[in-house]
Each structure stands twice: as structure tokens, then as C-alpha cells.
Amino acid sequence: MDELDRLEELYFGKKRLSDGKEMAKLVGLYKYCWMLKPPREMNLHIPYNLLTKLAAVAPEGAEENFILDKLRDYGYLKGEPTRDLKRRIEYAINWNRDFGEVSVEVPPLTEVEKEAVKDLIARIEESAGEEDITGAVFETAREHGIKTGRLFSLLSTILIGRPSGPRFGPYVLSIGKDRVIEALKRALEK
């Protein structure tokens, strides 16, 4: 799904490639994905891994509403959901039922980043609310000499596979501290 979004961004001119031949090839691929009848306007792009993670923790029978509420909380959705978004949510719910969570490729961590993540895990375990969790990231970044934006980007990449994502504190509480800590520990093992 994320790759299809990337192709769509190229098709609608939101992103460009310097290689004209590669650009034409990928635009053509996008058209073929839609059987030569692509949509007339660009759809809302939400990281698919985020949708599958929300589907994993959503209350059974109320998955769509839970996911839509979280997307509004995170600032991804303003107004009513499109038909395409509802379809993607349905895909994410089905994916989660059939296969579990989507795996994420963890970026290589420096020793300083590894120590920061270890420290952050301990702080998340002790934190109570979303402000405590977000504050823990700021404190950890400062104490380890890492730029705050870099640490948030690293955490987002570890958790959803993209360098930017929802606000960290609310996301941790939505997914569950235990799941986030587990994902961070897996990243340390790689």
C-alpha cells in the first residue's frame, strides 16, 4: 500500500524523479495498477503499517470506528473518511486477522541511539500519560546528545516504518506501552 501511495505521488506530480525514463515507467506502472483507469484525484496517504497496528489493538467488532477515531486524534483525518480510506482500513483489519502485524525494517542504530532507546524503554515503563511519554523522549534526546527530531524520526521508523508518524505519546497509549516496548527491544536486538 505504501508503494502504491509513492506511485500515486509521482503520478499526480507531488514528487518528481530526476530520471525522466524512470519517472515515466513508474507513472505507467501506477496506471496499470488501476487497469488504465486511475483515480482523478489523489487519495489520503496514511502509513499502512499504522493502520495494521491500530487494527491489531482495536476492539473486536468496532475496529473501523476505533481506527478512524485514532486517525482523527493523530491529525491524519479531518472530516469524513473517504471510500478509499475505509477500504484500506478493511484491508488492514483483514491483513491483521490473516497474518498479524506488518514487519518493519529497522534502521541501523548507533551505540548512542541504542543507549537512548534502552533509556527510553525504562522511562516509558514508568510513565503514566501521553505527556509523560512525550516528555521522556525529549529528556532522553537531551541526555544522550541526540537531536529531538532525530529521535522521534527513529522511533517512528522503528514503530511504523516511516520517519514521521502520529504524535508519539498518544500513539504509545493507543497501541499499548507493552507492544511499543517490545518493538523497541526487537530493534535493539538487530
The overall pTM is greater than 0.85: no
Q: Residue 8 has what pLDDT?
A: 97
d(CA 128, CA 143): 21
Map out the domains of the chain as residue ranges: 2-33, 48-99, 111-189
As a whole number of Å, the CA-based R_g of the chain is 18
Q: What is the mean pLDDT of the chain?
A: 93
Nearest residue to 121 via CA among 177, 49, 176, 190: 177
Tens of pLDDT, residue by residue over 151-160, are: 999 999 999 8
pLDDT of residue 165: 86
Q: What fold is seen in the domain 111-189?
A: Arc Repressor Mutant, subunit A (1.10.10)
Task: For 57-116, write each residue's pLDDT tens digit.
Answer: 998 899 999 999 999 999 999 999 999 999 999 999 999 888 876 677 888 899 999 999
Burial code (b: 16+ CB inside 10 Å, e: under 16) for 10-49 equals bbbeeeeeeeeeebeebbeebeeeeeeebeeeebebbbbb
